[in-house]
Amino acid sequence: MLQFKHVAAALTRRMIMAAALVAAAAVVTAAAATMSVQVKDAPVRATPSFVGKVVGALAYGDQVEIQQTQGAWSKVAGAGVSGWMHTSALSSKKIVLAAGQKQANVAASGDELALAGKGFNSDVEAQFKAGHKDIDFTWINRMEKIRISAAEMQVFLQNGGVTPKEGGAK
Amino acid sequence: MNMLYRAAILPLCALALAGLPACQTMDTLSEVGAGVAVATGVATPQQGQSIKKAGSAVGKTFESITPEQEYYIGRTVGAMVLNQYKPLDNKAANNYLNVLGQTLAQFSDRPETFGGYHFLVMETEDVNAFSAPGGLIFISRGMIRCCQNEDALAAVLAHEIGHVELQHGLQAISKSRMTSALTILATESAKSFGGQELAQLTEAFEGSITDITSTMMNNGYSRGFERQADSAAVTILQRSGYDPNGLIAMLTQMKKQLKPGGHDFAKTHPSPDSRIEDIAKLVGPATPIVSPAARQARFQAAAGKI
Ligand SMILES: [Zn+2]
């Protein structure tokens, strides 16, 4: 009996939660025109193409308005830049770089907010390193610094006679 | 290495801190756990609320890992790879690999990751290649020796980019591990982590690294994941303008170099023949690769340094 009561209470709570989730989902849909950059930095291009000319860049947490989408590309405007971005750089969650208590409670559901720097982060990496002094990160840091620019890529493709399928937008 | 492989059997639920004796399904756990924690005064009602929310977060498993967290997992997975294989300290060779690899990544379905794609040659005759979550990719000298032209090398890199794009590494993390990590996150996301939470999170982190490296380096991914990575590679090669026959050419060459029982691709990947058979279904009958002189010249110059 006691158990039944508990189950009934849990069910009721679950129904209330489900209703709340539906309401939350509706809000997210209405606000879907705003997205956040979810990578350290990402290029913004003049055309929706892998070979589109790079006109600027946006950084982690930057918020953009989505003006138009075309396949995996979104036309974005925000932080003083506008152009096309690949959707892999974007999240529908609002990314909060410095979190306050109130936002953190919402973020726990994982649906609307994402907190930058939480979870597996540099503190965890430092803790790991302290416990594994034999694991060396020197070359990991070194390889991360090798960054090839869009212009270098263009030259590389051209010099090698490699012609991308999707159009000559440059 | 060994130390990690023996790694930490995690307390299945982080809620051990709330005094729960054993794990239950996450759904009941979040309900009961939150109640117990609040009732026993271990958690404030507010914290109890976020423990409940953890229940809905864990259902999503690896997809709940943000690109930023994936980046940190990948860095340590990469450091583990390099603990076993020495990097080739040759700037020109590594630079060539990065120009080719980073260009190819732009044509994948996931051109942007948190820290971007980066490539490094491993100084070993083993035929091997690894991709850490987020885009750190390691290719052995032995693997590069299986390539007779840039199109074949592009195919090797594109296959590894495919594993990154499809997040195969993250999917090797066990569900219970993911549950623990996400529960700690959901209960403690408001504050910066204190000693105990950081220790628990680091344990979950270590366990995740072990899950990934043991799958990637010892057991291999499933046949299905390898087929997906090959298929992603074909797409990348076709979009970028390289000949997808490069993949077949490389596998044909690899077949000659793999030693049965070797601790390399012989162990972690389906046989070259069976891969070729599947790839041929995507690209049609094999045709010879025609490489313009300039492309072949730069490939040979770089491969000569490797
Ligand atoms: Zn593979």
For residues A25 and A94, membership in a common domain is answered with no
pLDDT for residue B14: 34
Distance B226 CA to ligand 1 centre (A): 5
* Structural domain span for residue B37: 2-172+217-303
In this structure, the answer to whether residues A62 and A128 fall within a common structural domain is: yes
Judged by a CB distance cut-off of 8 A, whether residue B193 touches chain A is: yes
In a domain, A168, yes or no: no
A117 and A37 share one domain: yes
* CA B299 to ligand 1 center in whole angstroms: 23
> Does B49 touch chain A if contact means CB atoms closer than 8 Å?
yes
Strands A63-70 and A34-37: antiparallel
Chain B hits for A111, CB-CB cut-off 8 Å, are 56
- Tens of pLDDT, residues B41-75: 334 444 444 434 444 444 456 778 999 999 999 99
- Beta strands A54-59 and A41-45, pairing class: antiparallel
Domain identity same for A49 and A101: yes
The verdict on residue B267 lying in a domain is yes
Residue A167, in any domain of the structure: no
Instruction: Check residue B242 and report its DSSP letter.
Output: -
Domain span holding position A17: 1-30
**A165 lies in some domain:** no
Q: Of chain B residues 136-165, which have a CB less than 8 A from chain A?
A: 136, 150
Helix (H, G, I), strand (E, B) or coil at A85: strand
In angstroms, the CA B98 to CA B134 distance is 15
Residue A132: its chain B contacts at CB < 8 A? 3-4
**C-alpha B43 to ligand 1 mean position (Å):** 45
Quick check: B215 contacting A, CB < 8 Å? no
Instruction: Give a yes or no: residue A92 inside a domain.
Output: yes
A127 falls within a domain: yes
For residues A24 and A48, state if they share a domain: no
Question: Is B122 part of the contact surface with chain A (CB cutoff 8 Å)?
Answer: no
Count of domains in chain A? 2
Please report the ipTM that was assigned to this predicted complex: 0.80
* Residues A20 and A69 placed together within one structural domain of the fold: no
Q: Structural domain tally of chain B?
A: 1
Q: B32 in a domain, yes or no?
A: yes
Same domain, A81 and A16: no
Long-range contacts of A43-49, Cβ-Cβ distance < 8 Å, separation of 24 or more: A43/A85, A43/A150, A44/A76, A44/A81, A44/A82, A44/A83, A44/A84, A44/A85, A45/A83, A45/A84, A45/A85, A46/A83, A46/A84, A46/A169, A47/A84, A47/A169, A48/A73, A48/A75, A48/A84, A49/A73, A49/A84, A49/A166, A49/A167, A49/A169
Q: How far apart are CA A80 and CA A87, in angstroms?
A: 19
* Mean pLDDT along residues B124-140: 97
* Partner residue opposite A162 with nearest CB, options B60, B181, B242: B242
Same domain? For A21 and A103 the reply is no
Domain check: are A12 and A69 in the same one? no
Whether residue A42 is found in the same domain as residue A115: yes
Q: Which of B50, B94, B150 sits opposite A105 (nearest CB)?
A: B50
Which of the two residues, A16 and B106, has the higher pLDDT score? Answer: B106
Q: Which of A109, A146, A149, A166 to mutate to test the interface with B (most CBs of B within 10 A)?
A: A146
> Any CB–CB contact under 8 A between B240 and chain A?
yes
**Which one of A76, A162, A165, A170 would you mutate to disrupt binding with B, by most B Cβ within 10 Å of its Cβ?**
A162
Tens place of pLDDT for every residue, chain A, 170 residues?
A: 344 445 444 445 555 555 544 444 433 333 458 999 999 999 999 999 988 999 999 999 999 999 999 999 999 999 999 999 999 999 998 888 765 544 544 454 455 677 788 889 999 999 999 999 999 999 999 999 999 999 999 999 999 999 998 643 33
Asked if A53 and A26 sit in the same domain, the reply is no
Residue B211 lies in a domain: no
Are residues A146 and A82 part of one domain? yes
Specify if A126 maps to a domain.
Answer: yes
Q: Domain holding A103: CATH number?
A: 2.30.30.40
Q: Is the CB of residue B60 less than 8 Å away from at least one CB of chain A? A: yes
Let me know if residue A120 belongs to a domain: yes
Interchain pair B69, A119: CB under 8 A: yes
**Chain B residue with the nearest C-alpha to that of A153:** B103
CA of B277 to the centre of ligand 1 (A): 16
**From start to end of B63-182, where are the E strands?**
118-122, 129-132, 136-140
Whether A138 maps to a domain, the answer reads yes
Q: Which residues of A touch B94 (CB under 8 A)?
A: 143, 146
